Amino acid sequence: MDLSLSSEQRDLCRVVGALLTKACPPSRVRAVEADGGFDADLWKSLSAIGVAGKDIDDAPDPLLTVALIAEICGRHLAPVPLIETYVGRRLLSMVSADSLVPRADEAVIAVALAPWHSRDHEVLVQYSGVADGVVGLLGDELVWLTGTDCYPAQRNFAGVALNRVSPQRATEIEVLQTGESARAAYAETVTNWKRLAASMLVGVGLRAVELAAEFAKQRSAFGVPIGRFQAVAFPLADDLTALDGARLLSWKSQWAAQKQIDSAGLLALMAYASAAEAATTAVAHALHAHGGQGLTEECDIQLYHRRAKFLAVIAGDPKHQYAAIADSLLPQFEAV
């Protein structure tokens, strides 16, 4: 397994990092949260450098490349549908339905991470209110829903673009595939979302630890910076170790998927569960390091705390991820 990055990937990371540093400061994140949770201008800028459209598929390792960009987006809390649009594109390509996306580069695709059990069943879908279409599973049918103004917005603690979506509210429903092949394609799409969300969670957690470390150097108690106290420093050091491990596991899952290794799906679940636990723990420690002011809206750390919590639960109860991992591993032990 070779996880070394190419010069092209390093250059792309530098370009995306520079763009987000300039275009997506915390003040911008706050403004976008108050205005619906989607930054259309930032999405256009990312599209212009080729990370949001079909060009990314020309990279030698597209999944790893998107994972690298997702981690940077996590560090900056970028309110853009990078992961959703990428995995949505892969799904449409898989079922030969690329023509459904009218705008090649700036298109927004939303993905229902939970299946619909009936046409009036509602599920929460991020970016569905601004998407060209929503893809999801209705029974045993893989469907494409259109009609961005059909879904009521859902206020949420994370300040993200979130809507309650049901097929019966859609302007139009197109069935892309049916039966076992539809369920398999949908399951692969959700798995791809999880493996990329793991990278985004790592970015959120790492930046939270950095903010806590910066604060701990400046804040003093009993005549010394609070970063000297073990109760502050040691948990943050543990968080860095856990996040680094989650990053490596995420990269391994991208590599396994690219090589079509049988364990790729299991590695994706492991990466997502590991990153969710590491990131939520890290942001909690970072928030505690800031003391009471960490809970105030003026403090940046609460932005990371809310985003990590959201990413960890939007695909379902984190405990269910561990249960799914156990279910996958159990047959191996029963056979011994």
Tell me the angle at which helices 264-289 and 301-313 cross, rounded to the nearest 10 degrees. Answer: 150
Q: CA-CA distance, 62 to 255, in Å (whole number)?
A: 10
Cβ neighbours of residue 70 closer than 8 Å, sequence gap 6 or more: 82, 83, 196, 197, 199, 200, 203
Assigned domain for 187 exists = yes
- One-letter identity of residue 257: A
Assigned domain for 164 exists = no
pLDDT at 336 over 60: no
Q: How many domains, the chain?
A: 1
Assigned domain for 301 exists = yes
CA-based nearest residue to 108, from 126, 94, 122: 126
User: What's CA 87's distance to the chain center, in Å?
Assistant: 11
For residue 223 the two structure tokens come to 């005549």
First to last CA, the chain: 27
For residue 286 the two structure tokens come to 């970072």
Stretch (H or E) spanning 135: strand 133-138
Higher-scoring residue by pLDDT: 259, 18 = 18
CB of 148 closer than 8 Å to CB of 98: no
> Is 0.85 topped by the overall pTM?
yes
Q: What does the pLDDT look like over 284-314, one tens digit per residue?
A: 999 999 998 898 989 999 999 999 999 999 9
CATH number, domain with residue 300: 1.20.140.10
Q: What does the pLDDT look like over 168-216, one tens digit per residue?
A: 999 999 999 999 999 999 999 999 999 999 999 999 999 999 999 999 9
Q: CA-CA distance, 111 to 91, in Å (whole number)?
A: 10
Assigned domain for 56 exists = no
Residue-range definition of the domain harbouring residue 247: 182-334
Assigned domain for 77 exists = no
- Pairing mode of beta strands 141-146, 133-138: antiparallel
pLDDT at 52 over 80: no
